[in-house]
Chains A and B, each alone.
Chain A
Amino acid sequence: MSFLKSKFRHPKLPRNDLGLTQQAYEGPLSTLCAGCGHDAIGASIIQACHELSIPPHRIAKLSGIGCSSKAPTYFLDKAHGFNSVHGRMPSIVTGANMANRDLVYIGMSGDGDTSAIGMGQFAHVVRRRLNMLYLVANNGVYGLTKGQTSATADEGSLSKQGQANPLEGIDLVTMAIQLGATFVARSFSGDKRELLPLIKAGLSHNGFAFIDIVSPCVTFNNHAGSTKSYDYVRDHVTTGAVTDFVPVEEEIIVSSSDSEAQDICLHDGSILRLQKTGNEYDPQDRQQALAAIEQSRQQDRILTGLLYVDPAAQDLHEVLGTTDKPLNSLGERALCPGSDVLEVINDSFR
C-alpha cells in the first residue's frame, strides 16, 4: 500500500477549455479502504468537473460525518471544503449557497448521515430546492464505527455477522421525489459509464439535484446475503433510460439512431439525452417515476439512471428573490441604510 500519491502524470493528458488537465481536479491519496466505492465516486466527480471545465476553485464541497463525508478530502484539492457535523451538511450548504450563489456546490453524504441523523435536514434541503448536487454514497452500513446496519439497509439483508435486518429500508430516491427534488437519479459506483453523465447533468441542473449512489462497503457489507454488495448490485440493477449529457457548447447532431432518444433541455442550455431501452417512462412525470421505482423494488430490482427531472423549476434564490450578485460581495453601500434613514426610523418610535 502506498502512502504518497505520485505527482507524475502523462504529459499529453487531455486539457479542458480552461487548459487544465484532470490533475488539477484531483486530491490527495485516499485513506478509505482499498476498493471502496466512494473512491470511484470521487473519480467520477473529478472527471465530470474537468470535462465540464468548471474552475476547481469555484467549487465548494461540503459533507457531514462518516466515510462518505471524508471522501471530499480526496478530490478537488483546489476547492474549499467543509467537513461539518454529522447529518448537518444540508443546513451549512444552504447558508453557504445563500452567501454566494456563484459557486458550484457539491454535498457529499452517506446513508447514515442522510437517512438517519440527517433525515430532517435532508428532507428540508430538498424542499428548499437549493441549487446544489447532493450525493449519497449508499452502502447500507456504518463504516467508521465498524459495521452497524444503517437505515437504508434493505429488509432481510444480512449483516456481516449473519443477522437479517428486520426493518424496512428507507428509499432515498422515492423520498427525494416526494419532497420536491427537481433532479433525482440513482446509480452504482461500479458503473462509471452511467454515473459520469448523471453527475455532469446534476452539476448543470438548476435547483436541487440528488443522486443516490449504491457504493458497496468492501469491509463491512460486501458479503453474500447483503443487498448492497458488489455482486448483488451487479445482478439486480435494472438500468433505466441510458443518459448522455451534451454540454451547452456542443453542437447537437441528430442522427437517425437518435430518433429513439428523448432530449431534455436543462436550465443552462445543456441537453440530457435519454436513450430508449424499452422499459422506460417519461422522467418528467413524477407519478410515473414513483411507480417505476416501486415496481422495480417489488421485483427485487434496483432501478438506476435518471429517475425524475423538472428542468424548469425555480431554485431557492429565485423563490426568495435574492439579488444576482453574491451576498458576500456586498459592501456597506448596499448593506447599511445610513444615518438619515435611522433618524426616520427613530421618529417612528416617538
Chain B
Amino acid sequence: MSKLESVNEFVIRFANVNGTGSASANLMFAKSIFRMGIPVAPRNEFPSNIQGMPTWYEVRVSEKGYLGRRGGGADIVVAMNSQSIARDMQSLLPGGYFLYDSTKPLPPELIRSDVNLIGIPISEICLREYTDPRQRQLFKNVIYVGALSALLDIDFGVLKRMIKDQFKGKEKLIVPNIYALELGHQYASTHFSCPLPIRVQSSDKTAGKLMIDGNSATGLGAVYGGASVCGWYPITPSTSVVENFMKYAERLRIDPASGKKNFASVQAEDELAAIGVAIGGAWNGARSFTATSGPGISLMTEFLGLAYFAELPIVLINVQRAGPSTGMPTRTQQPDLLACAYASHGDTKQVMLFPADPKECFDLTAASFDLAERIQTPIILMSDLELGMNDHLSEPMEWDDLRSYDRGKVLDAEQLDQMEKFGRYLDRDGDGICYRTYPGTHPEKGAFFTRGTSRDHYAIYTELGDIYVDNVDRLNRKFETAATLLPKAVIEQCKPKKASKLGLLYFGTTTSAAQEARDQLAEQGIDVDLCRVRAFPFGQEVRDFIDSHDSVYVAEQNRDGQMRTLLINELDAPGQKLVSVLHYDGLPITARCISERIEQDQGDSAKPNLKVAN
C-alpha cells in the first residue's frame, strides 16, 4: 500500500464532537508544531451548537509558508467522532493515514483499501486509567495528541512545556495531562513504526512570530488605539473582539490611584443600541466603537446613515460571516462589501479597511480611530470569521511610544475665543472636513445642533435645495480626501519594472491563497501580478494596477463579486477586464480555486506565448 511521504508539508484533520474539550488539545497540537519553528495554520470548522454536533479542526503544516486552506483531501485524519466517521474516511487522500479509536472495530463497509489505518484503543485506555467520566472524555483528546507526537515525531519536550504553560495556576492538572500524553506516545511507539513517512522536523521559520487570532489582535488594537467607549451585542463571530477588548482593558486600563476603569463597555439590548452607544460616545469626544457581524450590520444601517451625515467618528468592526439573514453563522465569507460600502438610505458612502492577518487587525484597528476622527466619519474594519476566530501565524504587534493620537479637527475653548463665528459645517480647508467641538467646551461659543437632517454651514436646520446639495457635495469631497489618507494597496509585481499581462486583485483573507496561487501559476509559466486592496475608497494605485494589466482577476469570497462591482462603480473600471474568481461555500478560499481558474482561462494555447515572453 502506498504511504504519503512528506516532511513539514501536510494537512491533518481532526474530527471531534463539539463540547468535548477537543479544541484545546487540537490547539496544543498546532502550537507545538509552531514552537518547533514550522509554519502552521489551524482552522476550526464548528457548528452553531453548544454540545454534541460534529466539529472539525484542520491543521495545515507548511515549511514553505503556504498557510491558506489547501483544500482537497487531508493527509492524516484523526477520527474521534462516530457520527462523521464515514465522511471523515472519505476526506482522506489515497495513501493517507486514518487514526481512529480501535476500542470498537471499524465497520467493514467504511474501510478503504488505499489508506493506512492506525487503530489506537483510546477509550479502552481511558477506561483502564481513569474513573471519573469527565476525565475519561477529556483525556481521550490528550492521548491522541500524545500518539501523534510519536507518529509525526513532534518534540515531546515542546509538548510538555505546552502543558505546563496551559495549566499555569492549575498546577495539579499538569502531571495527569503529561501522563495522558505519555500514554498515547507509548502506545503508538510500541505498536507502530514511528515516525511515519509523513512527519515534522524542527525548523526556524516561526522565530519571533505569534500564533494569534484576529479578534484578539483587533481587541488589542482598540485598547492601544485609545477606545474608551464600547457598545456591543453578542454575535458570532465578532463577540470575541469585545471580549478581548474588555479582557485587556480590565488589566491595562485601570486608573492607578482609584482602581477605577478608564473605559466603559456597555452590553446593549441589540445592535441598534450598540452602535447608538458608539455614536453617542463619539459625539461627546471619546473614541468609541462597536463590533458585529452580518445581521448586526443590517440593524446598524440606519445609524450608519446618521453617522455619515452627522459626521461622527465611530469605528465599526465587522467580522463577516456567510449570509444572507443568519446565513451560516459559523462559516466564513466576505459577503458584506456592498452592504457596508453604501450602508444606509440616501446617498451614503462608507470607509472600509481590509486587514489580512492579525498584525494588520491590530494596526488597522488602532489606525481606524485616528482615521475616524480625522475624516469625521465611520470607519468599518472588514474582518471575517476565518481571520477573526482562527489562530494565524503573525508578525508580532508593534507600538511606537512616540505615537500620539490624531484627534482630528477639534476646537478647544481658546481656539473658539479667537474665532469670530464658529460654523460647524464650514469647509475652511477645502478638504471637505470641517471643524467640530465637543459638548461643554465653551460657555458662549461652539454649541450646535447635531442632526440627521440638512443644515447650513452654521448647523441651522434648512430644507433649501442648494444648501442641501452644497452639503452632500462637500461630503463627497471629504470621501475623496479619505481616499488619500487610507492605507495603500500592496502591489507585488513578478518583474520589478514591468507589469505582467495578468493581475490578481484580492483583499483580506484571500491573501494567503492568492500568494500561493501566484507561485503555482509561475510554475506553469503564467506570470500574475498581485494587488491586495486594503481600503475603500480605492487609492490611485488600484486604478493604476487595473489600467496597467490586460486582465485582472478579482478573487473574493462571496457569490456576487462585490469587490468587482465596487471597482466598476467607483473607478469606472472596464467590466470585461475584471474577471471574478469566486468562492463562497463557507470555507476559506484555496489557492487551487484561484490558480485552476486562471490556468483554465489562459488555456494551453496561451502558454507558449507567455513562455516566449519569459
Q: Residues on A close to B: CB < 8 A? A: 55-58, 60, 62, 73, 77-85, 88, 90-100, 102-103, 120-121, 123-124, 128, 316-317, 320-325, 327-328, 330-332, 334-339, 341-343, 345-346, 349-350
Q: In chain B, what residue has the closest Cβ to A125?
A: B273
Task: Check B284 against A328 for contact (C-beta < 8 Å).
Answer: yes
B451 at interface by CB-CB < 8 Å: yes
In the complex, chain A residues whose CB is within 8 Å of the CB of B164: none
Query: Could you tell me if B284 and A95 are in contact, using CB atoms closer than 8 angstroms?
Result: yes
Q: How large is the interface on B (under 10, 10 to 19, 20 to 34, 35 or more residues)?
A: 35 or more
Complex CA gap A60/B443 in Å reads 13
Residue among B210, B229, B255 making CB contact with A99, cutoff 8 Å? B229
Residue B2, interface by CB 8 Å: no
In Å, the complex CA distance between A97 and B273 comes to 14
CB within 8 Å for A322 and B263 given contacts A91-B231, A100-B440: yes
A330 pairs with B438, CB closer than 8 A:
no
Q: Which residues of A contact B306 (CB under 8 A)?
A: 84-85
B586 at the A interface (CB under 8 A): no
Contact A79 B283 (CB under 8 A): no
Q: Which residues of B contact A57 (CB under 8 A)?
A: 439-444, 447
In the assembled complex, the CB of A346 is this many whole angstroms from the nearest CB of chain B, namely 4
In the assembled complex, B352 has its CB within 8 A of some CB on chain A: no
- Look across to chain A and name the residue whose beta carbon is closest to the beta carbon of B449: A81
A82 to B438, CA, bound (A): 12
Fill in one digit per residue for B204-228: 1 if any A CB lies within 8 Å of its CB, else 0. 0000011110001000100110101
Contacts of B229 in A (CB 8 A): 95, 98-99, 327
With a 10 A CB-CB cut-off, give which of A58, A60, A91, A120 has the most chain B CB atoms: A91
A123 CA to B248 CA in the complex, in Å?
30
Task: Tell whether, in the assembled complex, residue A345 and residue B397 are in contact, meaning their CB atoms are under 8 Å apart.
Answer: yes
| B461 at interface by CB-CB < 8 Å | yes
> Could you say which residues of chain B place their CB within 8 Å of the CB of A316?
266
Answer whether residue B288 sits at the interface, using C-beta atoms and an 8 A cutoff.
yes
Quick one: closest B residue to A341, CB to CB? B252
Given A57-B447, A62-B280, A323-B255, 5 further pairs, Cβ under 8 A? A85-B302, A98-B277, A99-B264, A124-B269, A330-B228
Pair A55/B443 contact, Cβ less than 8 Å: yes
9 closest A-B pairs by CB: A91-B276, A95-B280, A99-B286, A80-B439, A99-B284, A328-B285, A95-B281, A92-B280, A91-B273
Contact: A94 with B277, CB < 8 Å?
yes
Q: Is there contact, CB below 8 Å, between B276 and A322?
A: no
Q: Which residues of B, 392-412, contact A by the 8 Å Cβ criterion?
A: 396-401, 404-405
Q: Tell me whether B260 is interfacial, beta carbon within 8 Å.
A: yes
- B160 in the interface (beta carbon within 8 A): no
Q: List chain B residues, Cβ under 8 A from A98.
A: 229, 264, 266, 277, 280-281, 286
Max chain B C-beta neighbours (<10 A), residue from A120, A322, A328: A328
Q: Which of chain A's residues has its CB closest to B165's CB?
A: A348
B453 at the A interface (CB under 8 A): yes
Q: Which of A81, A83, A331, A339 contacts B401 (CB 8 A)?
A: A339
**Distance from B267 Cβ to chain A, minimum over Cβ atoms (Å):** 10
Query: Complex formed: what's the CA distance from A85 to B306 in Å?
Result: 7
In the complex, which residues of chain A have a beta carbon less than 8 angstroms from the beta carbon of B488? none
A320 to B254, CA, bound (A): 12
User: Which chain A residue shows the least CB distance to B461?
Assistant: A73
Residues of B within 8 A of A328 (CB): 228, 281, 284-286, 438
Given contacts A128-B266, A349-B212, A350-B210, contact A95 B224 (CB under 8 A): no
Distance to closest chain B CB from A105 (angstroms): 10
Q: A93: which B residues are within 8 A, CB to CB?
A: 280
Q: Is the CB of A91 within 8 A of B440?
A: no
Docked pose: A2 CA to B500 CA in angstroms: 72
> Contacts of A322 on B, CB cut-off 8 Å?
260-264
B269 A121 Cβ-Cβ under 8 A: yes
**One of A80, A88, A341 near B303 (C-beta < 8 A):** A88
Q: Are A83 and B439 in contact (CB under 8 A)?
A: no
